[in-house]
Every structure is written in structure tokens, then in C-alpha cells.
Structure 1
């Protein structure tokens, strides 16, 4: 099930706790996505930004700043920065993946065109850098600019590795750290930095975001093979049909027989997919307990996130963030 399906929803509790700050972030986003000379920019941006996303990444920045006792205004700048970086990467990803749906709506590249999506994504990256510079913190600029570079690096690595059966779990983890966890960890780390926290706390915040992001992505990859399409917004097996070598398949390939490896080579590497192949893929995954082992990995990373957050002082926000780590993987049970 998706994040909205569980009975307890820590992200909603966080949103209520941070409602005033989140409204300030939304106001700043609307201001900075405006363009006097190119009205298509706010049109394309609004289509994605206002599509009902949970603002999870900017919430992490606001939450960690609150947890560390920050009482200034730059947490809003940084939360908007994180959301702009995230939105820019989504615009670019949909072009690369030739996607037609995002959050249950047609993608920007489908409604407008690829050129508009790429260029508006570039504009949002530029706006993100303007926002982070306004904080006057070189360390914040270093963290977020490194995250942006790591995200791009992860996406490029995925291009070459996603359909290569030689891709192992170490490479997969490197991709996930790039495409997902880098922005999670940057979002949590800058909350501590802007608050003037000590290095031990900043490290704990980084570790929390890193582990949470990895758990989040592994859970998403697992749900592609066993999720509820209505809840996830994806059809079961979309990753298989798109020939994406995610963790469940990587585990199955590592233990494959000669016949099974030939199956993966035909369907993933060569793209020769036939009727009944998804069912055969599921049978192989189950035969090697690849889905169960993938679930165990997601749970382990969620536990790492909770352990890192346990190093922070007692606070309502700390409790919510610990519960969020449980919640990310609760959809797998």
C-alpha cells in the first residue's frame, strides 16, 4: 500500500506541526517560480509542484531545523531549495524515462514537450541556487550543490547499469544514494547546519536522511512487484516492462540458474518480452525469496534511520521522524 493507506501517518502529523512554516515555503515557491518573460515556466512548474505531493523533502529540512532549535527564517529558503531541486529532477526524469504519468496526472513533457520540461527544470535548478546563496552559508551551498551533482551522477550511472546483468547490489546502492538518498540526507543535514548544531548532531541528521532515503527507494522498487496499483499509482511490473534492474531482480540474478539467467538476459538486457514473462519473472523472484530479502533490506535501512535519530535529543519532532522511518516500510507488511 502507499503512504496514504496506513492508519497512522507521521508525515501528516509533521505537516500539521509545521503548518505555518510549510505555508511560508509554499508562498516562497510560488514567488520564485514566477517569470516575467516566460509564462510557460510557472505553468509547467505549477503543474508538478501543485499536483498534491506531500512535500516530504522540504518537511525534513523544516523538521530538523525545528528539532535543533532554529528560530530564524532561512529554514524556509532551504526547504524551498530542496523542493525546487526535487521538482527539477522529476521534470528531467520524466523526459529521460519517456513517462506519461506522474502522481496520477499526465507528465509535463506529455502536456507540453520535452524541451519545455528540460528547460524549466534548468530554471528551477537556477532558482534553487539563488535561494541557497541567500542564506550566506558556504557550508549549506556546499551540501546542496554536492547533492545536486550526486543526483545527476546517480541518474547517469543508472542509464548504463539499469539493463546490465553485471549490476550488483553495490552499484544499485550507489545509484539509490544518488537518485534518492542524496537529497534526503542533504535536506536533513542543512536543517542542523543552519541551526548551528554541533558536528555529532549534524552527522546523525545526515545518517538519518541517508538511511531513510535508501529505505524509501528500496520500498518503492519492491512495491513495483507486489504493490496495489491504486495506491502506488503504478501498475505491478512496470519496472520489469521498462527493463529496470532493481534490487529484487538483482538478488534473483545473483542466484540464477543457467536457464533463469538466459530469461533475464532476454527480457531485461535485450528487451525481448513476451506474453507470460511477467508471471515467469514473479515465479523466479519467489523461488529465490528475492522479494522477502529485499523487504528485509528495506527494514534494515529503516532501523538505521531510527538509530541515527535516536542520537538526537528528546523532542516531539524526533518521535515523528522515528515513526516516519517505520512508516516508509510499513507499506511492505
Structure 2
């Protein structure tokens, strides 16, 4: 494979497709309600790098190197669904900022944000019906249920110091990996390439897992300016992320009162001295454990990718996995 590429270089592999798709994300909305359009434009414009639709476009080209209107539309739908989940997440977390910009719930209110998130999901399925492809519709309807269940499961385990690694993996399967799988397998279903669904699903599942674990590690070891949020936010919100789960596990039998300090912080969400608790996580060995898990998930993703058609688009997907894991160094 090639040397490490930047995100912009990976995107450039499907640059024309990406530019068309990017316009379609907002252009696909057709609400007669002005507030729906205003809030949707706000949240879409505040969007990130559009990685999930990029995965769809790279997958579609990997399987057949032609420009596909359907693939670009599917990529736009994937981004609309992802945006809807972010809008709902911001309401649940009472977030005022996302990527340094005011959230919809902060700019308008919670009710408006929730309803516009609902509209984005509804509109996504409205567009999916237009493909007249029942397996594709089933993939996205099942997947959207899994995403919602993952979010509810995370809420169920919020402030639960007894949450275990298996709980965490079940949560991230829903809230992160599932949409990665929809992004890849959807492109294959458009082309009737059912024989590749298992390998595409394995790639996306393991890459999604790695991506989320890395994100959760960076909550304790990342750069605040790059991340756009404070270190330790997950701890203050009582989210059962893997670094927290493993730290509690490693500290449980220690002679000090560090376990109780962290357990109470998770239970109550009261983080009076975040720096002390962040240091506990960093010094416990949990960060190294999580990094190794992320690298193993990355390896499994790359292993599945190696079974797929070998071309520059596959290399683009491989480079995305390398780029994600490079955030750990």
C-alpha cells in the first residue's frame, strides 16, 4: 500500500463524486417549512469531514469504477442520517458547541432540534424508497433501529460504574459501527454485489469499532483545540467509555481510594478536579489497553479489506484506517 495520505488526499480520489454528493446533502431536503430548512442548513453546514459518505463513494468506485448517481445519492442520505444522530446527541448531552460552532439546540431550543433531527431521518427514508431496492431499504431500516438502540443502551448505562467491556462494545456497535456498515454494504447492494457483503460488513464493523475507541481514548489524551471539547467530558457525562471501564477494573483491587474517587465521579457526574481523575485514567494502564484494542480492530478491518477488489479506491479505504489509527501517536 502507499505511504500515509492526508484526509484531503483520500477525498481527492473521488473528488468529483464528493463535490456533487456534498451539494446533494442539503439539496435533497424539500421541506415546505422554513424553520426545518433553516435548522437543517445550520446543522449540515456545521458538519465534519463527511467521512461516512466518503466511505460509500470509495466503496462504490472500488466495486465499479464509474460515476454513479445512485451511489452519490446514497452517500448524501448516509450523511443526513449521521447528521440527525448528532443533532439528537447534542440534545441528550445538552451540548452548546459542536466542532466549535453553536449546536441547533443552543441556537434554537431542544424541541426544535429533536423535531428537525426526526425530519432528517424521515426524509432519508423518503429518499431511500426512491431506489426501489427492498434489501437496501431493509439494511437502512434495521441499521437505524440498531443506532437508536445503541444510543438508548448508552443512556441506560450512563453513570453506571458496573458497565463492562461487553456493554461498551454493544453500545459502539450501534452508535458508530452500524452506520459504517450501512455506508459500505449499501453501495454493494446498489450494484447487486451480494457476495461481497460479508467482507464489506467486517471491514466497516472493525473500522467503526477502532474509530470510536480512538475517539474515546482521545477524550483523556487528545488536544482540546483539535477535538473541540474539554478533556474528560465523557467522564463528566457519566458515559461508560472503554478507558473509564478499564480504569475502574484495574483500580478495583488497589489499596488506595482511587477506585472510589473515580466510581463516585462516574455515578454522580461531579468532577470537581478533572485533572486528577484524568491522571488516574492515564496512569492506570487503561489508555495502553485501549490503544492496543483499537490497533487490533484496525488490523481486522484491514484484513477484511484485503479480500476486496484491489484498486486505488480500496487503497483509499485502507488509508482511512491508517489515518484514524495515526491519531493515537
- What TM-score do you get using the length of structure 1 for normalisation? 0.92
Q: Which moved more, 1:256-265 or 1:293-302?
A: 256-265
Deviation at 1:174, TM superposition (A): 0.5
Q: Of the candidates 143, 155, 159, which is equivalent to residue 151 of structure 2?
A: 155
Q: Is the 8 A contact 2:235 2:269 kept in 1?
A: no
Q: What residue number does 2:260 align with?
A: 262
Q: What residue number does 1:221 align with?
A: 216
**Structure 1 CA distance, aligned partners of 2:316 and 2:304?**
14
**What's the secondary structure of 2:251's corresponding residue?**
coil
Deviation readout 1:306-330 (Å, 9 max, x if unpaired): 1111001210011111111111010
State the number of aligned residues. Answer: 323
Structure 1 pair 303–161 and aligned structure 2 pair: CA distance change class (3 A) = same
Structure 1 pair 70–129 and aligned structure 2 pair: CA distance change class (3 A) = farther
Deviation at 1:40, TM superposition (A): 1.0
Q: Is the 8 A contact 1:34 1:41 kept in 2?
A: no
Deviation readout 1:168-191 (Å, 9 max, x if unpaired): 000000000111110011101111
Runs of 5+ unmatched residues, structure 2:
none
Task: Tell me the C-alpha RMSD between the 2 structures.
Answer: 1.7
Runs of 5+ unmatched residues, structure 1:
1-6
**What's the secondary structure of 1:255's corresponding residue?**
helix
Deviation at 1:52, TM superposition (A): 5.0
Deviation at 1:225, TM superposition (A): 0.4
The answer to whether 1:241 aligns with 2:236 is yes
Deviation at 1:263, TM superposition (A): 1.4
Q: Of the candidates 280, 283, 296, which is equivalent to residue 279 of structure 2?
A: 283
Pairs within 5 Å for 1:172-321: 172-199=168-195, 201-257=196-252, 259-274=257-272, 276=273, 278-321=274-317
**Structure 2 CA distance, aligned partners of 1:241 and 1:27?**
37
Q: What residue number does 1:4 align with?
A: none
**Structure 2 CA distance, aligned partners of 1:249 and 1:84?**
31
Q: Is the 8 A contact 2:47 2:83 kept in 1?
A: no
Q: Is the 8 A contact 1:61 1:191 kept in 2?
A: yes
Structure 1 pair 228–312 and aligned structure 2 pair: CA distance change class (3 A) = same
Deviation at 1:27, TM superposition (A): 2.9
The answer to whether 1:328 aligns with 2:324 is yes
Structure 1 pair 254–204 and aligned structure 2 pair: CA distance change class (3 A) = same
Deviation readout 1:217-239 (Å, 9 max, x if unpaired): 11110001010111111111222
Deviation readout 1:283-315 (Å, 9 max, x if unpaired): 332342111111111111111111111001210
Deviation readout 1:43-97 (Å, 9 max, x if unpaired): 1111121125211101111110110016442112211111111011111111111
Q: Is the 8 A contact 1:184 1:209 kept in 2?
A: yes
The answer to whether 1:26 aligns with 2:22 is yes
**What's the secondary structure of 1:65's corresponding residue?**
helix
Deviation at 1:21, TM superposition (A): 1.6
Q: Which moved more, 1:233-242 or 1:312-321?
A: 233-242
Q: Of the candidates 18, 26, 35, which is equivalent to residue 40 of structure 1?
A: 35
What stretches of structure 1 move > 6 A for 4+ residues in a row? none
- What TM-score do you get using the length of structure 2 for normalisation? 0.93
